Structure 1
Amino acid sequence: MNVFIAGFQHETNTFAPTLADWAAFQAGSGFPPYRRGPEIVEAYRGKAIPIGGFIVEAEARGWSLIASGWAGANPSAHVTRDAFERIAGDIDEDLRAALAGPGVDAVYLDLHGAAVAEHLDDPEGELLARVRALVGPQVPIVASLDLHANVTARMLALADALAAYRTYPHVDMKDTGALAATLLARRLERGAREPLAVRRLDFLLPLNAQSTMTAPADAVYDELLRLDATHGSVLSFAMGFPAADIAECGPVIWAHGEAAATAVDALFARVDQPRSQWRLDLKTPEAAVREALALAAGADQPVVIADTQDNPGAGGDSNTTGMLHALLAAGAGERFPGQVAIGLLADPEAAAQAHAAGEGAQIEVRLGRSVPTWGGRHSDAPVTARATVRRLADGQVTLKGPMGMGGEVRLGPSACLEVQGVLVGVCSRKTQMLDRELFRFLGIAPESMKLLINKSSVHFRADFAPIASHILVAKAAGPMAADPADLPWTRLPATMSLRP
């Protein structure tokens, strides 16, 4: 059997300041750079991304793979028209060639599900429509989706089956690709689509409430697995990406299988009530630092604070300074010299200045940016300070944590700067602080710190929770609203509640 495979990954924060252009997909940064053709199979086989799991499962079943393009870019504002049409155009060209040559018996797409383009509210739905138009109604199409997908009616109608991640942090990306292959095998064995049931929730879920390492999401996904075992269904609960101003933004539950409706209704009841279970405890930067310093005094492991509103995994550019200002104002570095670290701050100018000066040098530096957030607000002013260059690096990092195991990130010239006893990890290209190696490559040993500030919302928990004495979430000014009710929505249905 010939299976055509391709991928398009982008999570779009329509309120964020920076677009995802073609160069962003070519660079990849936190994702693999754009690849096309047979090399995808060799490059991604078994890797910790969905297509990696699909490839392994497909080959185990004896399927032949016809590879097109795989594109991923860091979360940001809209995907440009040019970038999307290049990616979709490559897939279209390769699919036409496959249909004219060896033939195509099925299609697998590695999608995110929460992309928005300059000219399309639902790029994944559009991509599925273009593929469906070429292969016709009988060829099965399956896709894997991110847990944060804003799943549209068009996506559900055009695909034979969809499977979403079941963990956040996403430590099951490879497993979800394998699950998509299982759904394809079920579809082929049945000879027709399995029954589908779908229910959409009418409230937005804050990103920080979605972590499956904490309540209530941990118990919800335990229930999902129990229901699948009981009913023989394949359930998915996409909690949605609550920063995309489109009509179909929000959480969706669906299932494939004979008892799909029963399974969906049961999971819906568990998620929908009580809604108070999804509410958050968010702290101001000042309050978070005060509490963290008090906790750190008696702790033998670091206190970790999530700088959630500048999360580069949700549309931030990893360059705001609210948490750094709070650390310096509280004298955190004087209290624990060299044992307080923040990272990573994307500031190519500061990194270049450090490299020009050399390790051990002292420089007058301007760190970070004041960036537009929403509603006419801006983030905090840059930090101007005298800094010591503690470590220089080229930014080539191999990840070792549960999410990115074996993955490579390319951050460009990078440096560890010490400012008033605080270690600031600076890089030239943004990436989310989700792996301890992103501190270590700059000479910062996270396990030895008293206080760590991570530019992340939830993904950091996979690698940092095992070493953290406490985890706090701070709401410093930034492009990714921790509370969806803060955003100036214009296109959500009137029936959609901005808070649980």
Structure 2
Amino acid sequence: MRIAIAGFQHETNTFVDTPTQLSDFEQADSWPELLCGQDVLNTTRGMNLPIAGFAKTALADEVELRPILWCAAEPGGNVADHAFDTIAERITTALADMTQLDGVYLDLHGAMVTESWDDGEGELLSRIRQVIGPDLPLVASLDMHANISRRMVDLSDAMTIFRTYPHLDMANTGARAFRMMRDICTNGPPAKAWRQGEYLIPLHSQYTRVDPAKTLYNALDAFDGPGARLVELAVGFTAADTADCGPSVLAYSASQAEADAMASQFFAKLQAAEKQFDTSLLSSKEAIETAQRASGRRPVVIADVQDNPGAGASSDTTGLLRELVHQNAPLAILGLLHDPQLAAKAHELGKGAEFEAEIGGKSPGDAPYRAQVRIHHLSDGQCRYTGEMYGGGVATLGPSVALQITGTQIHVLVTSIRNQCLDLAQIRLFNLEPEDARILCVKSTAHFRADFEPIAQEVLICAAPGQFPCELADVSYTKLRPGVRKI
């Protein structure tokens, strides 16, 4: 078998005004920079990425891989047309120049929105089909936060989806995509069925180690069978105001009757789970008061879920920080706050310097927090992940600094490049030990849980203001399909 492979990932928050540019895909941040050719295989090898899992499994099966490119940008506003067109053209041009292909594999997200296309993946698949034709096997892997469209279903032969949140099974999902590809190349494309859910699930409620998400995803195993028999669940990305926003069920089988039956059976489980999702959120005041009452020796982790850069937020809001100072919280660490100007100033002044700082607050609806600070630690921002989710990779934070608010025990970790705080190594980079803190405030929705939960005595979910809305009742959608409910 000869398989062309490529990756083009973006999770788009349509409530953010700043477009995602080509340079955002070209720079290293949470993931590597844009990779081309053999670098796709060399750089991602051993990482928890779908394309790495696909490649490892395919190469073990003595498949010839023809890597084109792989790129991902930190979640943010709509992908600029120039960025989308440039990357899509690189993929289609490379495919047009290839001969004797047996299939194409794509490592996608599933919730990309561009300036011109609400369904970015559907448009990408359409352009690829125009080059490779209707019959060449085309398989993709998707994030579990994908908003799946009819166009995506029709233009692909199969799509596999993450089954864990935090996403610990990304490489496994890529391996499952290869299993589907191998069967399609041997036996032809499977029958497929698709059902769209009737309610939106806030991301902080999608955590797969608790019910109902835990039970739903565990139930998928019963449908996995020989050949191309498979059921997949995407729970959707609620910060994308599009007609396809929300959950989807996909089913594949040798017969259409069985695919339809499996999709309907699992869809009934999804419908029945609606009222079981815990959507509760604490205010900043409530979260810190609760953390202060905790009597154990381990830290309390507070998730600033609405300022999660991993969902497109600015990662610079100051609501939780203000409350930490107001309540004079003991031994507290807050990170990662994105403020390149502040980080640059700190690097000019040097370790140990004290100065009057304007911290964060540069996104709409917020204001900088002014405080006297001391520079505790400076870093170049190169951080090798040690946690299970991103282990094997390197976070590029840019010039970064740990600031201590004068007269308090509160430290703020400031970076030059937006990164979700999801790995304990991101705290230790600043010469701070996370287990010594009483309170750890992380700008993340759920990914932090994989590494932080084992050291925490409690995890609290906080709804400080931010650009990633989790209280869906307050969200003004304009494009949702009729009848979709908010929970």
The normalised TM-score by structure 1 is 0.94
Secondary structure of the 1:391 match is: strand
Counterpart of 1:246 in structure 2 is: 242
Deviation at 1:235, TM superposition (A): 1.3
Query: Which amino acid in the other structure matches residue 114 of structure 2?
Result: A
* Runs of 4+ residues over 3 Å off in structure 1: 229-232
| Secondary structure, aligned partner of 2:268 | helix
Query: 1:357 is matched with which residue: 349, 356, 359?
Result: 349
Alpha-carbon distance in structure 2 between the residues aligned to 1:154 and 1:42:
32
Which residue among 383, 395, 405 is the counterpart of 2:381? Answer: 395
Deviation at 1:260, TM superposition (A): 2.6
Write out per-residue CA displacement over residues 368-420 of structure 1, whole angstroms, 9 at most, x where no aligned residue: 11422xxxxx13x2110000111000001110101100111111111110012
Letter in 2 for 1:88: A
1:341 aligns with 2:340: no
| 2:6–2:106 Cα contact (<8 Å) kept | yes
What per-residue deviation string (whole Å, max 9, x for no partner) do you get for residues 426-483 of structure 1? 1111100110011110112111111100000000001111111000000001000012
Which stretches in structure 2 are left out of the alignment for 5+ residues?
A: none
Match of 1:406 among 392, 411, 431: 392
Q: How does 1:70-89 map to 2 (within 5 A)?
A: 70-89=70-89
Q: Look up the equivalent residue of 1:66 and give its one-letter code.
A: R
The amino acid that maps onto 1:166 is R
What is the distance in 1 between the residues matched to 2:45 and 2:377? 35
Structure 2: distance between partners of 1:444 and 1:277: 38
Q: Cα distance, 1:226 vs. partner?
A: 2.5
Q: Which residue of 2 aligns with 1:369?
A: 361
How far 1:230 moved relative to its partner? 10
Establish whether residue 5 from structure 1 lines up as the match of residue 5 from structure 2. yes
Superposed counterparts of 1:231-310, under 5 Å: 233-258=229-254, 259-295=258-294, 298-310=295-307
CA contact (8 A) 1:228 1:263 kept: no
From 167, 171, 190, give the equivalent of 2:168: 171
For the structure 1 residues 433 and 249, does the alpha-carbon distance in structure 2 shift closer, same or farther, using more than 3 Å as the test? same
Q: Select which of 393, 416, 434 maps to 1:428.
A: 416
Q: Which moved more, 1:23-32 or 1:472-481?
A: 23-32
**Residue aligned with 1:363, SS:** strand
Q: 1:28 & 1:234 partners in 2: Cα distance?
A: 34
Deviations 1:211-246 (A, max 9, x none): 112221111111111333699831110000011111
1:347-372 per-residue CA deviation (whole Å, 9 max, x = no partner) reads 11111121111111111100011422
Unaligned runs of 5+ in 1: 373-377
| Whole-Å separation in 1 of the counterparts to 2:95 and 2:275 | 47
Mark the CA change 1:286 to 1:370 in structure 2 (over 3 Å): closer, same or farther. farther
Structure 2 residue aligned with 1:56: 56
Total equivalences in the alignment: 482
C-alpha displacement at 1:249, in angstroms?
1.0
Match in the other structure for 1:140 = 137
What secondary structure is seen at the aligned counterpart in 1 of 2:173?
helix
1:19-76 Cα shifts (integer Å, max 9, x gaps): 2101100113112100111221222223211000011011111111111111100000
CA distance in 1, matches of 2:412, 2:209: 28
Q: TM-score, normalised by structure 2?
A: 0.97
CA contact (8 A) 1:187 1:193 kept: yes
2:464 aligns to what?
A: 476
Task: Describe the superposition over 1:83-138 as per-residue Cα deviations: whole angstroms up to 9, x where unpaired.
Answer: 00110011011111113xxx211000000000000011111111111111111122
Matches within 5 A, 1:157-196: 157-190=154-187, 192-196=188-192
C-alpha root-mean-square deviation of aligned residues, in Å?
1.4
Q: Percent identity?
A: 40
Match of 1:104 in 2: 101
* Shift in alpha-carbon separation, 1:175–1:81, aligned structure 2, 3 A: same
